[in-house]
Amino acid sequence: FNSLNHDMTLAEFKFIWYMEYSHRMWGRVVGLAYILPAAYFWHRGWLSRPLKGRVLALCGLVCFQGLLGWYMVKSGLEEKPDSYDIPRVSQYRLAAHLGSALVLYSASLWTGLSLLLPRHKLPETRQLLRLKQYAHGTTALIFLTALSGAFVAGLDAGLVYNSFPKMGERWIPDDLLAFSPVLRNIFENPTTVQFDHRILGIASVTAVTALYLFSRKIPLPRRTRMAVTSLLAMACVQ
């Protein structure tokens, strides 16, 4: 406030404070929603041995996620000597916080669906194996795209260029590799971070579309076909 935000009112500060407070409280509610039922089911003997390991891993990941959130926020409160830049958290810690949240969400969803829905026993044909491999590769690409979005947010890289498909007047901006060494640009140059996020986003949509088209050539159960179609629909919405 003394260095940068002199004109901030108390009401504006309260808005930011309550956003952070509600996020923390919601995170704690999520933690309790994991740990309390898990303890109850464990005590009742309703968990198989493999499921116990998975439940422990999920509960541990919930706790780790909270710790990582604190570590991320801490980076935004650290004084920078001789610099009064806009306070922001480390883009590296933000990406780690988002990445662990995605892993937690995906693992929870996978565990829940594997318990609710029996696995389809399909013949392991060459085409089906290729579809599985391609689906796993597409998942990794989408995950990488989401992580790159955290770098965009952490660096406010979305403010650098607001035109599409070109960035300003060029397809490839002049300051794409302005930082030295070159590797720093990928993580710390706002222009490069936005450029990478665009490329990864386009690649993800292309991969999802190709996955959908490839799946149409293979006889698949109705549930699987619905999942692939929903994936394409969500990619278009995104």
Domains in the chain: how many in total?
Answer: 2
What pLDDT digit, counting tens, does each position of 150-190 carry? 999 999 999 999 999 999 889 999 989 989 899 999 999 99
Asked if 47 and 74 sit in the same domain, the reply is: yes
Q: Which two tokens stand for residue 27?
A: 């995170």
Asked if 130 and 228 sit in the same domain, the reply is: yes
Residue 53 CA to residue 56 CA, distance in Å, equals: 5
Q: What is the rounded average pLDDT of the residues 222-232?
A: 95
Find, among 46, 169, 173, 62, the residue nearest to 115 by Cα: 46
**Per-residue confidence at 75, pLDDT binned at 50, 70, 90?**
confident
Give the residue, 220 or 82, on which the prediction is more confident.
Answer: 220
Write out the residue range of the structural domain in which residue 46 sits. Answer: 10-78+86-117
What pLDDT digit, counting tens, does each position of 120-146 carry? 788 888 999 999 999 999 999 999 999
Its pTM stands at 0.86
Q: State the sign of the Cα–Cα–Cα–Cα dihedral 82, 85, 91, 94.
A: positive
The 3-state secondary structure of 55-113, one letter per residue: HHHHHHHHHHHHHHHHHHHHHHCCCCCCCCCCCCCCHHHHHHHHHHHHHHHHHHHHHHH
Residue type, 13: F
Question: Is position 4 within any domain?
Answer: no
